[in-house]
A = this chain, B = another copy of it.
């Protein structure tokens, strides 16, 4: 197992085997955001490595893509470049490689403690698509919204159901979330009313960032789909269930999810996830040929959700799920998305939809955990929850467990603020 000269705890999310990309700026300095990778407790500034000429063997040399405030330009360069850059960084960080290790001035310029930087949204997101790829989640929601007999729509087993999400309100981990307001219609009301959301929820998801896109009119075949995928993040797709229940027919969720979606700041490259590649659930009925592939398309990634109410001493785990439960793979999502000729661009985000497992404690949303209010969740310090309350802090985390190392996603957090006054 390769090791870095930077000390990395065996439970750290960011060993030399990971090397996720992010956009950061030293908190105390008035400098421009730029691209770095996480290593242990540090950020390695790629713009500093570039300035020192260390990427001269790769296509990023003289492009200044690491001096930019988003990963998009780098993502557009394609997998060969991503691989070459990753190899350079991994080599420079090895314990037996003196070039960076034994260059104190460069180390001073290039390393920052993660706790001393601000992280930004790593990608300028063009379009955001949200799938609905967990059978357990779709079934749970279906039962609650439409009853047991219509829970899973007939199309669900034949195609990765998805919809267009709102890209402008995707925010980076740590951004506070205002409780949304809008129209709701309680079951016993004769007419809708204006209200702050009373059924605010989280959704445990993961997202895939598209790197290299396709031309309009040119579908991406399923066997080539993963080549277009740059990396992954954790996603919390905040949801207003009461707004959703009233608005979603017939065109799908709109305001129920347009107020915020939070993502983790570090984009984990697909190369780092290879040790955790597994087959997803068996697909029955067999998908149509354009969705069929023999390559295992899922990943064994542990996922957890924690909640800390404002009166709680510490966060408490609400859910423990796993990415591998997802029925539809990223390759299938990409092939389906583009089969009409729809073009994907660098920076597009494809989220998985809520990732629920078969067990109750593996459910990925509050709605499922508390069964739409019917089964309140008992927490420490006398707290109970059926929905999220003002002041609640939600944190999601995820990692693949290797032999003596972890490939982690860090976390995506967000705190609920009370609804804003409307100027009317």
> Which A residues form the contact surface with B (CB < 8 A)?
126-127, 132, 142, 145-146, 153, 155, 158-159, 161-169, 171, 178, 180-183, 185, 191-194, 216-219, 221-223, 240, 243, 246-255, 258-260, 285, 288-290, 336-337, 339-345, 348, 420, 422-424
- The answer for the CA separation of A345 and B424 in the assembled complex, in Å, is 22
Q: Which of the residues B243, B246, B340 comes within 8 Å of A259, measured between beta carbons? A: B340
In the complex, what residues of B have CB within 8 A of residue A158's CB?
A: 183, 191-192
Give 26 CB contacts A-B under 8 Å: A126-B167, A126-B168, A132-B251, A153-B249, A153-B250, A155-B185, A158-B183, A158-B191, A159-B192, A159-B247, A161-B250, A163-B254, A164-B166, A168-B216, A169-B342, A171-B216, A178-B216, A180-B340, A181-B219, A181-B340, A193-B288, A221-B423, A222-B424, A223-B424, A259-B341, A289-B424
In the complex, what residues of B have CB within 8 A of residue A255's CB?
A: 336-337, 339-340, 342
Q: Which of the residues B153, B180, B219, B424 comes within 8 Å of A221, measured between beta carbons? A: B424
In the complex, what residues of B have CB within 8 A of residue A155's CB?
A: 183, 185, 192, 246-247, 249
- The answer for the CA separation of A80 and B146 in the assembled complex, in Å, is 50
In the complex, what residues of B have CB within 8 A of residue A161's CB?
A: 247, 250-251, 254
Whether the pair B252, A163 counts as a contact (CB closer than 8 A) is: yes
A126-B168, A250-B252 given; name 7 further pairs at CB < 8 Å: A155-B185, A168-B216, A178-B217, A181-B340, A183-B288, A193-B288, A341-B420
Report A11 CB to chain B, min CB distance, Å: 34
- The answer for the CA separation of A216 and B258 in the assembled complex, in Å, is 10
In the complex, what residues of B have CB within 8 A of residue A344's CB?
A: 168
Q: For the complex, would chain A's binding face be called helix, strand, loop or mixed by DSSP majority?
A: loop
Whether the pair A251, B253 counts as a contact (CB closer than 8 A) is: yes
Given A153-B249, A340-B258, A159 contacting B180 (CB threshold 8 A): no
- The answer for the CA separation of A412 and B351 in the assembled complex, in Å, is 33
Report A145 CB to chain B, min CB distance, Å: 7
In the complex, what residues of B have CB within 8 A of residue A337's CB?
A: 255, 258
Whether the pair B254, A164 counts as a contact (CB closer than 8 A) is: yes
In the complex, what residues of B have CB within 8 A of residue A348's CB?
A: 168
